[in-house]
Amino acid sequence: MRDDDFDLDVVDPEDARLEQVVAALSPADLEAAIARLPHDLQPAATGVLVQRRTYSDVSQELGIRQPELVRALRRARGIIARRLAGPPEGDLA
């Protein structure tokens, strides 16, 4: 099963970049990063990214439409990627 096994035709270069950043994580680092996500994003990220289930299967289990799942995963990947990058240069906060 591949990470892109879902019924939607969604293609975005930014999504591809985020997927690469997240895919480079070890399984343990990925699970740790998902544990730090907002609670509403964790089930979607766990189902697709950790358990490697299809978008259709995860969306059905969570009772959400596939476009909602795609948005949740994009948000999750974005948060994980930003946290990996750290604060912007010059940002002391």
Tens-place pLDDT, residues 11-68: 567 777 888 888 899 999 999 999 999 999 999 999 999 999 999 999 999 999 999 9
Please give the residue that has the higher pLDDT: either 78 or 17: 78
Token reading at 68: 């909602």
Q: How far apart are CA 31 and CA 46, in angstroms?
A: 8
Q: How far apart are CA 35 and CA 43, in angstroms?
A: 10
pTM score: 0.75
pLDDT at 36: 97
pLDDT at 1: 45
Token reading at 82: 């930003």
Residue 69: CB atoms within 10 A of its CB come to: 22
Q: How confident is the model at residue 91 (pLDDT cuts 50, 70, 90)?
A: low
* Residue 88 per-residue DSSP state: P
pLDDT at 76: 96
